[in-house]
Amino acid sequence: MKKIAVLLVIMAVLFSAVGAYAAPAAAVKSDHTFTATASTNNLPYQCIAGTPCKLAMEFKNESNKTVSLVNWTVAADIAAKLQIDAKLEPGAPTQVEAGKTAIAVMMVIFPDAAGGKTVPLQCKVQYGTIITQTKLDVSVTPRFEAMMLPTRLILGPDSEPKTLGMSVINHMDKPYEGKIKFKVTNGLVVNPAEIEGKIDALGLEAYMVKVEHKENAAPGHYTIWVAADDMYLEWAMVDVPAKAKKSDLKNIVNSGAQKVAIANAAGKSIGAAMFAFDSSNLYVLISTTAEPENIQIGIDPLIDGAKTYQGGLKADDLMLKIGKARSLECSKKNAKVGLAGFGSGFDRNSGNYIVSVPWKALAPFKLAKNKMIAASILINKQGSKYEFGGGIAGKVDPRLFVPVVLSD
């Protein structure tokens, strides 16, 4: 049988209403009879998830026999774990005659899960037992994009609603009309829970909703998600603060400060904590049902994020570590922190600790009525981790500390 050579060249990729990027693909030779090359010339086109877009390919048949395009396939690389819909455009050539050139168009639809990703494609043509293929990376834009501001919403100690703003971009070349829905973790209420969205083609609209916590919502982190056409778009973190009470050292337990649970990821508690304060110190009271290996406490007095994007303590932040022998370590060497046990009234049958931190050690924080700090507690016991808040286990990240409101 005479050898057959087919040259495949991608001429243009993914024509849609907005700009895009598709990286040049490398040539792949699967057999000496067939060669295949792919080039997009960095053409500024991109596919929109859920929207048909065109993949045009030029086929050059240098053999003396007709080559069928019926077995031309386009699929996402297995590593991408995506199913795409790809069909020959009606009227497209189904074969390339000997010595001729033909251009065929494949209509490709990427799923919503591909939005915001670069998807590797494999384009194959099979003739007999021989396969020629090209590879191509395609950048896929989601149908919608959303931004929520603030990205971290701190609610007040009472259930007074706060405003959450949101902008939604429609990347499609047709107007969008549909429901924009909000979902929250248990303990939060968002109003309205649904919005009748109307966004022009390639347009942007802004919306606002009110968020509040239920009366019995425990202090900690909560989440609010937004979706359009039931497609997840964005999320924001919502914090319900713990309530600290002003008290002298002797009356902290009965001060009315809120008791917060220290638990593992499954919700099993190993103890509880309370926060209190006076004009000189912040107090952290911890009660455990078992002797821990160590207890770590993180404090972010200004609630101003982490040192870098990856996390880390800033100059104003403070970390404390209580050891087995009730030793106390502090990240600030000159801070006059203190540690003592305390008696019944908080939890009689457990290990009790009270840590005092001078406000001077949390400078430049200035104490004022209803001002907030952020704190987190981690108890380590036999390889298990129990937390109030987060951001201590692993890399320290003050952004995951929970706000604490200092109320009189």
User: Can you give the residue ranges of every domain in the chain?
Assistant: 6-141, 144-240, 242-407
pLDDT at 358: 95
- Same fold: 144-240 with 242-407: yes
User: Domain 242-407: which CATH class?
Assistant: mainly beta
The contacts of residue 270 (CB under 8 Å, 6+ apart) are: 262, 263, 264, 288, 289, 290, 292, 379, 381, 386
| Token reading at 28 | 């792949």
> Cβ–Cβ contacts within 10 Å for residue 309, how many?
7
What does the alpha-carbon distance between residue 402 and residue 154 come to, in Å, rounded to a whole number? 9
Q: Tell me the mean pLDDT per 10 residues along the chain, length 408.
A: 43 40 39 39 62 79 76 76 83 80 81 88 72 78 93 86 95 93 95 95 96 92 93 93 89 87 92 94 90 93 89 93 87 88 46 90 94 96 92 92 93
**DSSP of 47-97:** EETTS-EEEEEEEEE-SSS-EE-TT-EEEE-GGG----EEEEPTT--SEE-
54 vs 12, 45, 48, 196, 324, CA distance in Å? 8, 10, 11, 32, 66
Whether this model's pTM surpasses 0.95: no
- Separation of alpha carbons 64 and 7, rounded Å: 14
pLDDT at 129: 65
Instruction: Output the pLDDT for position 6.
Output: 43
Q: What is the pLDDT of residue 160?
A: 84
**For domain 144-240, is the CATH number 3.40.50.300?**
no
Peptide bond into 219 cis (omega under 30): no
**Could you name the CATH architecture of 6-141?**
Sandwich (2.60)
- How far is the CA of 52 from the CAs of 21, 86, 135, 139, 356, in angstroms? 17, 9, 20, 14, 63
